Structure 1
């Protein structure tokens, strides 16, 4: 495999890692695609094994991504309507301020929905903070899994 291909694979993986924390960029999918692209070019047992492990880890990530925040949010009383309003506000923020506007839009939508639901600033802020903590844990888990996959890829390239 050529150096150019390895550099491009590395860039895809790096963009995937950045995509984990950027709204609208499918980070884990890009990390997996980078490993897939590399393993299809490499065609070794180690490459296919790394792809299988990456696939299993990302499937585990998807399960955890849906289970952990959902439990934390249900415990804090966050409703689906609140999340729908927050997602709508994130979409509006994305349109008004491309890419970076999604985060403040989501925060504003989440707080507004909780303020309407709970009626006062204090409880709405606590509920918003708890929801953000649950979402933050999901992003952190996703980032750690993608970093593990990328580190395994680097090890396979260097030592393989």
Structure 2
């Protein structure tokens, strides 16, 4: 008799949770990395064996490493470009408010508006405030790409492990 881990519906379910996690990275409504980590952890626990736990360890390493890089590299680039921490905080707060005022796109609109208004108040010049806002957006985009890359690597490791196991 085959275990749950070898049944097609279990692999499809794990794959769907991973897919939702990947979408959660692109549209930051769901905790994407946590969903991916959890799905692979459940698969490894149910599958058992050296291959499954190796897949889990390598996937976890990719997720953790991309998480560390996502906060350090873009943050340094934004700091070098002159984006203030206060602007990022105000952008995050208005992004959260915007998410509830204008579903889904309000997060983006609120973030941009928050960073721009904060930088306009600090710099007192429209052009510089907008340039700083653009740098903040590039930093956030780079952060998302790094997180997505790590998640895709983890997903690829899981797919290979699911085939091999």
Shorter-chain-normalised TM-score: which range? over 0.9
| Residue 157 of structure 1: aligned partner | 162
Where structure 2 has 5 or more consecutive residues not aligned to the other structure, the ranges are: none
| Residue 11 of structure 2: aligned partner | 6
| Residue 16 of structure 1: aligned partner | 21
| Residue 60 of structure 1: aligned partner | 65
Q: Structure 1 CA distance, aligned partners of 2:85 and 2:128?
A: 18
| Residue 106 of structure 2: aligned partner | 101
Deviation at 1:100, TM superposition (A): 2.7
| Residue 153 of structure 2: aligned partner | 148
SS at match of 1:101: helix
Q: Structure 2 CA distance, aligned partners of 1:30 and 1:47?
A: 17
**Equivalent residues in 2 for 1:82-97, closer than 5 Å:** 82-97=87-102
Contact kept, 8 Å, 2:65 with 2:150, in 1: the verdict is: no
Q: Please provide the CA RMSD for this pair.
A: 1.3
Deviation at 1:99, TM superposition (A): 2.9
Where structure 1 has 5 or more consecutive residues not aligned to the other structure, the ranges are: none
Calculate the TM-score normalised by the size of structure 2: 0.91
Calculate the TM-score normalised by the size of structure 1: 0.94
Query: How many residues are treated as equivalent by the alignment?
Result: 160
Contact kept, 8 Å, 2:60 with 2:154, in 1: the verdict is: no
After superposition, give the CA deviation of every residue in 1:50-80 in whole Å (9 maximum; x if it has no partner). 1111111122122112211221121122222
| Residue 28 of structure 1: aligned partner | 33
Deviation at 1:98, TM superposition (A): 2.6
| Residue 129 of structure 1: aligned partner | 134
Q: Structure 1 CA distance, aligned partners of 2:60 and 2:114?
A: 34
